[in-house]
Amino acid sequence: MSFHKMLNLSLILLLSLTGCATSPIAPKSAETYFKEGEEFYASRQYEDAIAQWKKVKDSYTSPELTTLAELKIADAHFENANYIEAAAAYEDFRKLHPNHEKAPFALFRLGMCNYVQIGRIDTDQTPVKNAAAMFEQFLKQYPNSEYAAEVKEKLAVCHQKQVQYEIYVGRFYLRTEKYQASIKRLEEALAKFPKSPLHDETLLYLGEAYMLAGEKEKGRDIFNRLFKGYPESRFVNDARKFMGKYY
């Protein structure tokens, strides 16, 4: 074989190999990405699931799958305990799809993102306030939802924790002899959460605050509310002893 023929053959082979190397790989369909995301999610590989569902969104080929992927991404963040990211994703879903059948679920989960972050009584109470606000909004918008019963239970817990916090602050003011501040805080707890089962304790410290502030008649009236409203309360004896000492 002549040199020129060998050269031509080599060039043809090189071009053929180059063409094979640069041949683009066909992208997967949105359906395939979505299914892969579900498989990763089922095996708790949440970051990988999110990555695949983001590809569904980026494909712009299926509005229905894109909407589902948005919610699935929020779910994956939630299950991965990334509650800030989950809350943002659920909120975005609600804004983009306010009438979607999954909008109630998104609001429920938005409340749960805050609920699961509730800490001790001496820590930041923002998660309690936010969770309560979301659950209250949920019950107004979706009173007949399948999640309504659970939301009511969670909201009751939030309200209980809010009352406990008000008592905690009221007692702090009481111990530091800031009686008017204590009275204000405890009175607000009674007004804001009138049906709380914890108000026997609220009334005890409120009565003490009034007594120590020199308003003994008001203190006596508060203690009488405790005696009549919660006759079996463990705080009744404390109130009677306090009255015996200061009234």
Domain ranges of the chain: 33-98, 101-158, 177-247
Look at the block and give the residue holding tokens 């031509």. Answer: 8
Q: How far apart are CA 149 and CA 158, in angstroms?
A: 14
For 174-193, b where at least 16 C-beta lie within 10 A, e where not — what string? beeebbebbbebbbebbeeb
The vertex-141 CA angle with 139 and 144, nearest 5°, equals 65
For residue 25, the model assigns a pLDDT of 64
Q: What is the DSSP letter of 32?
A: H
Using DSSP's 3-state secondary structure scheme, residue 198 falls into coil
The third-level CATH classification (topology) of the domain covering 33-98 is 1.25.40
For residue 26, the model assigns a pLDDT of 61
Report yes or no: 134 and 150 within 8 Å, Cβ to Cβ: no
For residue 107, the model assigns a pLDDT of 98
Token pair for 244: 């015996």
- Say what the pTM is: 0.82
For residue 194, the model assigns a pLDDT of 92
Q: What is the DSSP letter of 123?
A: S
For residue 202, the model assigns a pLDDT of 97
Within 10 angstroms of residue 59's Cβ, the number of other Cβ atoms is: 19
Report yes or no: 90 and 68 within 8 Å, Cβ to Cβ: no
**Longest pairwise C-alpha distance within the chain:** 123
Query: In terms of C-beta density within 10 A (0-12 exposed, 13-18 middle, 19 or more buried), how is residue 75 classed?
Result: buried
For residue 158, the model assigns a pLDDT of 97
For residue 181, the model assigns a pLDDT of 98
For residue 236, the model assigns a pLDDT of 96
For residue 24, the model assigns a pLDDT of 58
Query: In terms of C-beta density within 10 A (0-12 exposed, 13-18 middle, 19 or more buried), how is residue 238 classed?
Result: middle
- Encode the chain (247 residues) as per-residue pLDDT tens digits: 554 444 344 444 444 544 444 445 667 888 999 999 999 999 999 999 999 999 999 887 888 999 999 999 999 999 999 999 999 999 999 999 999 999 999 999 999 999 999 999 999 999 999 999 999 999 999 999 999 999 999 999 999 999 999 999 999 999 999 999 999 999 999 999 998 999 999 999 999 999 999 999 999 999 999 999 999 999 999 999 999 988 7
